[in-house]
Amino acid sequence: MPSENVTAHPVQLRYVLTSDDLLDGFAAQNRSIARPWYVRWLSTLLTVGLLAVVFVSSAVSGDVAAGTAVIGAVVVFIVVVPVVVGFSLLLRRLFGGSRWIYRLQVRQIMRGNPALSQPMQATVTDTGVHLSSAAGQSTTSWAQHQLHVETDRSFVLLASERRGGAVLVLPKRGLDAAGLAPLRSLLSAHSRRIS
pLDDT at position 129, please? 95
Name which of 180, 147, 131, 125 is nearest 34 in CA terms. Answer: 147
The whole-model pTM stands at: 0.66
**Across residues 88-99, what is the average pLDDT?**
67
Asked whether 158 and 29 are in contact (CB, 8 A), the reply is yes
97 — pLDDT class (breaks 50, 70, 90): low
Asked whether 25 and 156 are in contact (CB, 8 A), the reply is yes
Angle between helical axes of 19-32 and 99-112 (0-180°, round to 10):
140
- DSSP helix/strand/coil, 41: coil
Task: Give 130-186 pLDDT, tens digit per residue.
Answer: 999 988 899 999 999 999 999 999 999 998 877 778 889 999 999 987 888 999 999
- DSSP helix/strand/coil, 145: coil
The dihedral sign for the CA sequence 34, 29, 125, 112: negative
Cα separation, 1 vs 186, whole angstroms = 11
Cα separation, 123 vs 71, whole angstroms = 66
Task: Give 4-32 pLDDT, tens digit per residue.
Answer: 445 568 999 999 999 899 888 888 887 75
pLDDT at position 54, please? 76
* Residue 100 predicted with pLDDT over 90: no
77-81: which pairs have CB atoms within 8 A and are 24 or more residues apart? 80/48, 80/51, 81/48
How high does pLDDT run on average in the chain? 81
One-letter amino acid for residue 30 of the chain? N
- Which structural domains are found in the chain, ordered by start? 11-34+98-193 (2.30.29), 37-95 (no CATH)
